[in-house]
A and B are shown apart, each in its own frame.
Chain A
């Protein structure tokens, strides 16, 4: 979900996605950066994102990922799921 969310702002390469997730999460989530890539490939195999070679801001060849239409749908679905879930959890937590 985080990957999809970060790509909803526009196409980006792997490094950038990692950065964006860190920014979005305000450095609360820290992972081994490399593990991002198998995750990216898996999401790509589901068809939610696409990739192609492009040129990065510092003029180097880099692989750019962008959200597909079904990816956008998936993001919306996951967002609403997440909101339902977190709302439910919130309710439970507030009840006590």
Chain B
């Protein structure tokens, strides 16, 4: 039965314990006085009366104590007393307190920070209605189970025939359109959606409305603005609804504005409708649509996959299709998941090292305080009471560490959120929420108890009497310390090896030969909206004008960006049977005549494109060496004929497949990031796209004679001189393009590297502490040694050797652990084995050097001490 009034009074007792004492005393004295009066009334002498009354009352102090136990602050008060005592003890030893608190703050800080990131990015549900049932629908085809998106007919089949999905919507994420007439002409990022996409997520526009089913069928039926774009481009104008904007070649009315959506497709500026009537929406093999569906309640993912697979297999040529459903959250998170989990593992190791360090510090302090504890144990304090006091003292320490750590975590989180150097998804939602706080609190409490257990278990093994008699530790060389330091060194080595492997991977990846010379090449993205033959004139003018600008060596356009990516082309040969189910794929690229010269690619055989490769000329193609080797091994590829079907974004199709003659072979260029293996690639004259769709967007490449950065402004002016309202993408050098392909690698390396450095620092501090402590405990021994003729060098060697032995054991342990742990990062390695001996050796050397330094410092102090002083110190 909770008695709140009484509890409240006990709480009050925490503030004013004296008042409770006074009340009890007053009550007792009232009693005794009353009894005395009574006795006097019965005829006793006043003195006797008082004595008799006190006797009848009993043992006053004891009863008072018993009374206070019930009415006073109880264990809370004891706790507060210990807490206060802890604070005083810590304030008396600022060096110890600082070291311990900073160690803990680092350990807790990186953990809380990373957990906050992990929690916000990986764990937190998407902010949509019933988000757990949203899935991305994908297809797997072919013998190697290539994962593809869906085509328009696929979507229609699933939409009309499927029962396992409640709702299903298709998306065409991230295509560029030009926005003209709203300030500077610019490119905007559009995402095409079906009209029921937002209702499926349970989202409503903040102003205006969504597409009606009728508008949905009209090309340019309307635009729904994303929140951020509305704020940037229209300054959050509430009267924007109904205004008509010029997107691409069309005039589109603004229908509504969506709320901020930082999770899914966060870079979208404008939401447009996918128009099901457009031609390319009817090609079964044009798999370019992302499809998101909501699983019907009570239906399992497997059942739905089977049903949808059965539906799509009914379509011609899709007998081997397999439909897979991937939780939408997994799609959003992508490969950040592995990265963050590995980083989390790394910071847990850092925390472990920090704790081990703390334990070492506390053990050292505990043996200094052994006299005090032995005294208390002899005076009858229970080991439990001492444990409780230690736990409380640690709580003070751990609390300081936690508060500092949370501050550090907040900084870490802010840096990651604002710089987003790792391209993390959902980054704007990262914060330190109640869950992180609670976890930090739990860890704090757990650590306090664990830290108390160490010293107490050390005490409990002592012979109380002996410790008390000598009044100090009997020069015991604590084995516990050594084990702690060895395990610390081992853990640090694991992290260092991981970071070393990543560093080597990055270095190797950065030094892959791209197959082109990009130092002096500028590139930018041109969205022109030319879908017809007239586009050729624009490009002729542009290439001519820029080509004649001083400072330009070569200029070209292409729809691919080497080092960043290329569309996929489907190939058919005329000299063999083509298996429909196993289509031959290659990187494909439409390029202008000087593309290879501009990029600095090497011609191996045949010829490059020239001014004669116009739309009306015979269709030609240039392949790379890999293509020639794979498809015509040992034969001359020149003169062979292939048909190329483009499977890039939906607007492209070669229509009728016409055969192209191979006129040249170029050396391999890296068409994707440098750490992606080379694939077969082919290049076609950009004017020989009979649909003219490649004119709509192209990348411009300019090889300059001087520093390309100085040319950027000139380039912008020259483009605008040809077409004043031409929008431009970012102007970057090809080196920037190559380097941006490594941002994920850099992020992983940055994280793991800094955690490894932290671990190394903490381990070094731990080793230093252990050696320093061991030296301080052996002052007398040192004195004796010197007195017996040991030189300072002897002492120095002896102590440093002690540190190196520990480090050696740690390295051995760490190498064993590493062989197990580095497997976790094997997917992130490039051209380097998880057991790379060079990395292991280098890291071990670093650790030995650090260990030598960490033990040299205390050793030098010991060796330089005056022997007489050392002896007298006892």
Contact = CB atoms under 8 A, between A and B. Distances in A.
Interface of A: 13-15, 18, 32-35, 37-38, 41-42, 44-47, 50, 56, 58, 60-63, 70
A7 to B, nearest CB: 16
- Report the contact-size class of chain B (Cβ under 8 Å from the partner): 20 to 34
6 contacts: A14-B30, A33-B57, A34-B63, A41-B67, A47-B1, A47-B2
Contacts of A18: 31
Interface of B: 1-3, 5-6, 23-24, 26-28, 30-31, 33-35, 37, 56-60, 63, 66-67, 69-71
Contact of A62 (B27, B60, B66): B27
Nearest to B53: A33
B57 A34 contact: yes
Choose among B35, B59, B60, B63 the residue with the greatest number of A CB atoms under 10 Å from its CB.
B63
Contacts of A42: 70
Contacts of B37: 58
A15 B31 contact: yes
A62 B60 CA distance: 18
A61 B30 contact: yes
A50 B5 CA distance: 9
Contacts of B30: 13-15, 56, 60-63
B27 A37 contact: yes
Contact of A37 (B2, B3, B63): B63
Give chain A's interface secondary structure class: helix
Given A33-B57, A38-B66, A63-B23, A70 B1 contact: yes
A15 B3 contact: no
B34 A15 contact: yes
Given A45-B70, A61-B26, A63-B27, A38 B63 contact: yes
Given A33-B58, A62-B27, A70-B1, 18 more contacts: A15-B34, A15-B35, A33-B57, A34-B57, A34-B63, A35-B58, A37-B31, A37-B63, A38-B69, A42-B70, A44-B70, A46-B3, A47-B1, A47-B2, A47-B6, A58-B37, A60-B30, A63-B23
Given A47-B6, A63-B23, A34 B28 contact: yes
B52 to A, nearest CB: 11
A35 to B, nearest CB: 6
Nearest to A44: B6
A12 B508 CA distance: 90
A78 B33 CA distance: 33
A13 B33 CA distance: 13
Contacts of B34: 15, 56, 58
B275 to A, nearest CB: 74
A14 B27 contact: yes
A15 B6 CA distance: 22
A14 B70 contact: no
Question: Which 4 A/B pairs are nearest by Cβ-Cβ distance?
Answer: A47-B3, A32-B58, A34-B58, A41-B70
A33 B70 contact: no
Contacts of B56: 32-33
A78 to B, nearest CB: 14
A13 B60 CA distance: 18
Nearest to A30: B56
Contacts of A70: 1
B490 to A, nearest CB: 53
A33 B57 CA distance: 5
Nearest to A74: B1
A40 to B, nearest CB: 8
Given A33-B56, A47-B3, A38 B27 contact: no
